[in-house]
């Protein structure tokens, strides 16, 4: 069934949409980490000693776009009324900084 802006998904569909969106964020984060591994000379994750590194503006932009895609999917989760993983984020008096949601490394 195609969900349009005017239709409301049933709870099973809503759960599937949330799961799917979170999985896409996780998948994109894995691609982001692989791209960082091959692009960032300062990358501190695991890398073979002989792994070639190519840094370029184009790769940097690609990493930014993947980060943006992850963030936009986070906004999609927000639109699906999922619980806010950052409850203190809008309180400027709070010194709490929550870790990235869903265990993403971004």
What confidence tens digit (pLDDT) does each residue in 4-37 have?
565 677 888 888 998 999 999 999 999 999 898 8
Q: Is residue 45 part of a domain?
A: no
Within a domain: 8: no
Range of the domain at 77: 16-40+53-101
> How confident is the model over 46-84, as pLDDT tens digits?
666 677 788 889 989 999 999 999 999 999 988 888 787
- Is 36 a domain residue? yes
- How far apart are the two ends of the chain, measured CA to CA in Å? 33
In total, how many domains does the chain have?
A: 1
Residue at 106 is within a domain: no
- The answer to whether position 85 is within a domain reads yes
């Amino acid at each position: 069934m195609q969900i349009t802006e005017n239709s409301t998904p049933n709870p099973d569909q809503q759960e599937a949409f949330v799961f799917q969106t979170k999985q896409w964020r996780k998948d994109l984060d894995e691609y982001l980490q692989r791209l960082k591994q091959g692009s960032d000379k300062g990358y501190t994750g695991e890398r073979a000693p002989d792994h070639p590194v190519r840094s370029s503006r184009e790769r940097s932009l690609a990493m930014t776009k993947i980060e943006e895609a992850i963030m936009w999917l986070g906004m999609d989760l927000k639109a699906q009324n999922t619980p806010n993983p950052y409850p203190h984020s809008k309180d400027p008096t709070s010194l709490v900084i929550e870790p990235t949601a869903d265990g993403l490394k971004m």
